[in-house]
Amino acid sequence: MIRSPRVDSACRLLPEIAVTSRRPAHLAQAAVAIALGLTLSCSAALAQSPAKGSPEHIKAVTSAVDGASIKANTATSNDWPTIGLDYAETRFSKLNQINADNVKKLGLVWSYPLESSRGVEATPLVVDGVMYVTASWSVVHAIDARTGKRLWSYDPKVDREKGYKGCCDVVNRGVALWKGKVFVGVYDGRLVALDAVTGKVAWEKDTLIDKEHSYTITGAPRVFNGKVVIGNGGAEFGARGYVTAYDAETGNQAWRWFTVPGDPSKPFEDESMAAAAKTWDPASKYWINGGGGTAWDTITFDPELNMVYIGTGNGAPWARNARSPSGGDNLYLASLVALNADTGKYIWHYQETPGDNWDYTSTQPMILADLNIDGAPRKVILHAPKNGFFFVIDRTNGKFISAKNFVDVNWTTGYDANGRPMETADARTDKPYDMIPGPYGAHNWHPMSFNPQTGLVYLPAQNIPVRVVEDKKWAHNENAPGRPMVGLGWNLGYNFDADPPKNTPFGRLLAWDPVKQKEAWRAEYVAPWNGGTLTTAGNLVFQGSADGRFIAYNATTGEKLWEKPVGSGAVAAASTYTIDGKQYVSIAVGWGGVFGLLQRATELQSPGTVYTFAIDGNAPPPEFVKYQTEGLLAGVPYDPNHVGEGTLLYLSNCVLCHGVPGVDKGGNIRNLGYVSKETIANLKDFVFKGPFRDQGMPDFTGKLKEEDIPKLQAFIQGTADAIRPK
Ligand SMILES: O=C(O)c1cc(C(=O)O)c2c(n1)C(=O)C(=O)c1cc(C(=O)O)[nH]c1-2
Ligand SMILES: [Ca+2]
C-alpha cells in the first residue's frame, strides 16, 4: 500500500485487520504488528487526515509513490502502483478476498466511459482508490475508484490525421506514477509529465530525434530511481529503435541507448553499437531504412541487479535479404538487452530471433522471477515473444536456460543448447510462404502473468495466418503499387501472396509451467486477440476475451468460474487493488490494436469503458452498442478492367486498416465491403480531405490521384461481388 502521510496509512490499516485475520496466521500477525506500531500516531492525526478523493488526499498518496513504496506494496498488493503491479511485472496480486470460492458473486460496482472508439490497451494504476488509465489517442483519465467519477482527463491533442504514422492502432498501454506525477508516452512521440492532482502538464519532451522516419509511442513509460524511460515504435515504417531515460522531476535527458547501429561511416554511439555493426551487411545501407529494433513495449527494471531490460522489435524491413543481404544476426533486433539502470550502458543481450525475417518482435512484456531449475535457484526472465517460444533466461548474465514452443511453429525445430534456433529449410525461402507464427505473433503485447503459488504463467497465445512472398525489388520508401501500405510509408520487403494461407486461426489462454516448459492447461476461444491476464492469491486468473467477456478461471485447473459481458472485445489486462480494505478488480475495455482494426469476434462494439467489479456488486452495466454495419456492398458501378490496378492500389494504401472488402468483417475501422453504397460511390470525398480525418483517417491528397478512385471502387465492389453467394 502506498502510504503518505504515514499516519493516514495507519488509519487505512485498521479496518483491514478484520480481513487479514482470516488469512494465514503469519500474515495476520504481521498486519497486527504494523497496525499496533502506527495506531497511536494515527489516532492523533485522524482529525486532520484529508477526505478520501480530495486534492489533498490525492496529493498525499501519489506523492508517496517511489521505489520504496512500490517495493512495500509488493508485500501486500493493496495498490496497483506500476503497470505490471510490481517491478518484476508478475501481475500476481497477493489479494485473496475474491477467490475461487466466491468469485461467482463478483458483480459490477461502476463503469466509466473513456469516450474513445479505438483500441484501449492500458492496465489501470490505482493508489488508495485513485485510478489512472489511458484510452486511445494517449488520453489520460484520472478516476475516483471509490465512486467511478472523473477527477480529470488530459488530452495531449495528437493530430488525428497522423494516426497512420503508427502501424497498429492509436493505442496506449498506460501511465507510470512517481512522486506526484503521472507520465504518459504520447502517440506523436512526446513524453508528458502531469500533476497527479490536477492533470496539468508539469513538463513535456519531444523524444523523437528524427522527423524523417515515422515514429510513434504506444508503450507505458517505466519509472525507477527518479528516471523515466520510454522507447518508441516505427519498425514497419523504417525507423531506428532507441530508448531514452529522463529525469522524472525535470525532464532532462539522463541517457539514451540505440537498439541497432547507425551509419558505420559515422562514429558509433558506444561500444555496443560497434559490436552490433559487425552483424549487419553495410552493402544494403541499412541505416537509410533505420534497421528497426524499436522498443515499443516492454522495459523492465530489476532493483536487485540495478539493470533495466529492454525487449527490442523486428527488423526494418522485415525481410533480412533486403536489410542485410549477406546475412548476419543483425544485433540487437528481436533481443532482450540488459542496460545499467543509472547510465544506460549495455551489459548483456540474448537474441531470441537471430537475423529476424518474420517480424518476430521481442517487445512482449517480460516477467522477472526466481525459480528453482535443475535443483538450483536461478534469477530468470520469463518471456514469450512473437516467435512462438517460451524463454527462460538467466537475468544476471543473459545466458540461455531453456526455450520451448508454446504453439506450432514452422520456422525452426527448436533451440540448441547454446540458445540458437535450428531453422528449417523453408524459413528463409524466396517462395510464397505461410509464416507460422505470422507477424501478428504467437503472443503479442497482451501481458502475461505469473502465479508463484501455482508455478504457472498465464499466456494469451494465438495464431493469425499470413502468407507472404519476398519482394526482391524492395527499396526504401519506393512506392510501387501492391507493396503493402507503402503509400502510407510502410517498408516490409514482403508482399502478401495472392493465395490465401493454409494454416488456421486460433486464440487460447495457456497455463504454462516455465520450469517444466510444458503446458498445464488451456482454455480455447472463438478467435485470436484475447486480452492480457491477471492472476491472484485467490487462485484465480482473469482475462478479457475478443468476443466481449471478462472471465475468471481457477488458476490451478483452468475451470471457468465466472464471466460477465463487457460490451466489446477486450484486449487490455485487468488490475486488482483494495479500497478501505475491500478488494476490487478493474479492466479497461475497448476493441482494437492491430488485429482489432480490421477484424472482430463480437457484434457488440461499445465505446471504451472501464469496468470495476467487487463481491456482491450490482450496478447496472452501461447500454452496450451494436456494431454498425451494412449488408454486403452492392450496386456501385465500375469497370471490371480496373480491378487489377485497383487491387494493387488497395494493397498499397488501405488493406491493413480496412481489411479485405467483404472477406474481413471490420473491427474498430469499417470494412469497405460493408459500408453504404453511397460511401463507395462517393469514395473521392472520403479519400481527399475527408470527414474521417478527425477519427484517424489520413488525407490522401498527394498520396493518391483522382484517377485512382475508380480503380479502388472497382476493386472494392468487384471483391464484394466475387464473394457474394450466388
Ligand atoms: O515494430 C514496431 O515498431 C511496432 C510497433 C507497434 C506499436 O507501437 O504499437 C506494434 C508492432 N510493431 C507490431 O509488430 C505489432 O504486432 C503490434 C501490435 C500492436 C497493438 O497495439 O495491437 N502494436 C504493435
Ligand atoms: Ca513491428
Do 469 and 513 sit in the same domain of this protein? yes
* pTM for this predicted structure: 0.94
Do 394 and 305 sit in the same domain of this protein? yes
Question: Domain boundary residue among 599, 615, 631?
Answer: 615
Quick check: is 505 in a domain?
yes
Do 62 and 189 sit in the same domain of this protein? no
* DSSP code for 189: S
pLDDT (average), residues 345-354: 98
Do 526 and 664 sit in the same domain of this protein? no
- The number of distinct structural domains making up the chain is 3
Quick check: is 243 in a domain?
yes
The enclosing domain of 204 has a CATH number of 2.140.10.10
CA distance 672 to 269: 47
CA distance 279 to 284: 13
Do 140 and 13 sit in the same domain of this protein? no
Q: What is the pLDDT of residue 299?
A: 98
Q: What is the pLDDT of residue 412?
A: 98
- Least confident range of 25-34, 190-199, 433-442, 606-615: 25-34
Q: What is the pLDDT of residue 14?
A: 31
Do 158 and 43 sit in the same domain of this protein? no
Q: What is the pLDDT of residue 244?
A: 98
* 442-456: pLDDT as tens digits: 999 999 999 999 999
Do 225 and 339 sit in the same domain of this protein? yes
Q: Do the Cβ atoms of 364 and 441 come closer than 8 Å?
A: yes
Give, for ligand 1, the residue of 118, 296, 485 to mutate: max count of ligand atoms closer than 8 Å to Cβ.
296
User: What's the gap in Å between 37 CA and the centre of ligand 2?
Assistant: 52
Quick check: is 83 in a domain?
no
Q: Which residue type, as a one-letter code, is found at position 139?
A: V
Pairing of strands 533-536, 92-93: parallel
Do 686 and 554 sit in the same domain of this protein? no
Quick check: is 631 in a domain?
no
Query: 30: domain range?
Result: 4-73
Do 658 and 558 sit in the same domain of this protein? no
Quick check: is 635 in a domain?
no
Of residues 439 and 42, more confidently modeled = 439
**359 included as an active-site residue:** yes
Q: Is the peptide bond prior to 332 cis by the omega test (within 30 degrees of 0)? A: yes
* DSSP code for 55: H
Ligand 1 neighbours (beta carbon < 6 A): 121, 166-169, 171, 216, 218, 233-236, 294, 296, 313-314, 359, 361, 440-441, 444-445, 593-594
Do 659 and 580 sit in the same domain of this protein? no
Confidence of residue 48 (pLDDT cuts 50, 70, 90): low
Q: Which of 66, 359, 664, 721 is catalytic?
A: 359
Query: Measured between alpha carbons, how far is residue 169 from residues 217, 243, 541, 597, 698 in Å?
Result: 11, 21, 27, 7, 13
Q: What is the pLDDT of residue 459?
A: 98
The enclosing domain of 699 has a CATH number of 1.10.760.10
Q: What is the pLDDT of residue 44?
A: 43
pLDDT (average), residues 224-242: 98
pLDDT (average), residues 588-593: 98
* DSSP code for 202: E
Quick check: is 411 in a domain?
yes
Do 538 and 487 sit in the same domain of this protein? yes
User: What's the gap in Å between 110 CA and the centre of ligand 2?
Assistant: 36
pLDDT (average), residues 280-286: 97
- Least confident range of 7-21, 145-159, 404-418, 470-484: 7-21
